[in-house]
Amino acid sequence: MTFAASQLQGFNACLSPGAAPGSVGKGSAGQPGQIWIWGTNNLYQLGQGNTTGRSSPILLNSDSDWVQVCTGNEFCLALKADGRMFGWGGNTSGQLCTGNTNSVTSPIQIGSDYTWRDIVACGDYFWLAMRSDNVLFAAGNNSHYQLGDGTNITRSSMVQVSSSGVFWNWLDVGASHCIGVKSDSSLYTWGANTYYQEGNGTNIDVSIPTQVSSNQWLMGSAGANANLFLDINGNIYASGQNTNYQYGNGTNVSASVPTLCNSSIKFSMISYGYSFNSYGIGYDGKCYSWGSNASGCLGQNSATPNYSIPTQIGATSDFLYVCAGTNNALFLKQNGNLMAVGLNTSGQLGDGSKTTRSSPVLIGSATSWLTCCCYSNFSAGIRAV
């Protein structure tokens, strides 16, 4: 799950506390600020020109016009207010479009001839992004057709996925599969499908964006071998692997098509991670978690291995956004605080330690966080200046 908070808050159109799904602003530029970043840094993913890891947030640079940051596996992409896109970090599949696979030590512009919308999604060594004229592009690893260009050829330069006549409201990617929601609320999936995660009733990889279901959809969240989907009425559906109860429907039975999981709680957003960990924020501003609780990542202050239904985290109803990572998660509160929970062996929680946490901990005292994102062992966010 690698979408950025801006897709919900406008990458940030402010999602009002407790807002119903129809009120989400997806696709307008967010409030600009500075990027802060932390965690492992073995391939320069912190963009500092060195490989020193950090357990507390540090400034990427002095620029204060960033509106989106998105973490992938060992790399980052970020957008500025003028629509320019930058990337840095690992470049294993050429996803940073430098013409080689060398790591990039600090931000470089990607696609100098283009300006971009605030919908960017990063996965395992690949990414998707919307150009300002609504053309969808992709680059990087394509071993499971996840770029959506009809081939499985890995790309070290950008490839066009859809034409300017297609308006995507929402994009998200998992390790090697993708979800898109068009402006008419139709749902599309493509990429890896070994576990039936694409929701089309088969387990054959999908090479181009292909519509599934006739329902109307708000968003989807792609993670480990499964997808969660949120319809316009706040109901969660799922397809793919369910061995750790990541559907949240009380069973561990998998489905090959989008299957209703929960209608008793209405959700304004969902986030599914890379370790079978699921989260959602209700209309009432409460945050819920379910699925695998490895490293205490569900924030229940418990060693219970799995939670089969959505369970409230804490007792407050002031959550704005949640981002699921790999055995960890970040939470943005309505007052601008940032919190984190779960695995912390690389300092990816940002609390100044490498202590794994089973209850959310506050990341500093700042109340100016606008966005946050995390992948496996590093995290990033934008703070207002």
Averaged in consecutive runs of 10 residues, what is the pLDDT profile of the chain (385 residues)? 45 31 37 97 98 98 97 97 96 97 98 85 96 93 98 97 87 96 96 98 98 96 97 98 98 98 94 97 98 98 98 98 97 98 98 98 96 95 97
**Radius of gyration over every alpha carbon of the chain, rounded to an integer in angstroms:** 18
Say what the pTM is. Answer: 0.93
pLDDT score, position 11: 29
- Residues ≥6 apart with Cβ < 8 Å to 197: 174, 177, 189, 222, 225, 226, 227, 239, 240, 241
Strand order in the sheet with 34-39: 54-59, 34-39, 378-383, 369-374
pLDDT score, position 2: 52
Which domains, ranges and CATH numbers included, belong to the chain? 6-383 (2.130.10.30)
pLDDT score, position 166: 82
Q: Report how far Cα 323 is from the mean position of its chain's Cα atoms.
A: 6
User: What gap in Å lies between CA 371 and CA 19, rounded to an integer?
Assistant: 17
Residue 171 per-residue DSSP state: E
Residue with tokens 């609320």, as numbered in its chain: 185
pLDDT score, position 1: 55
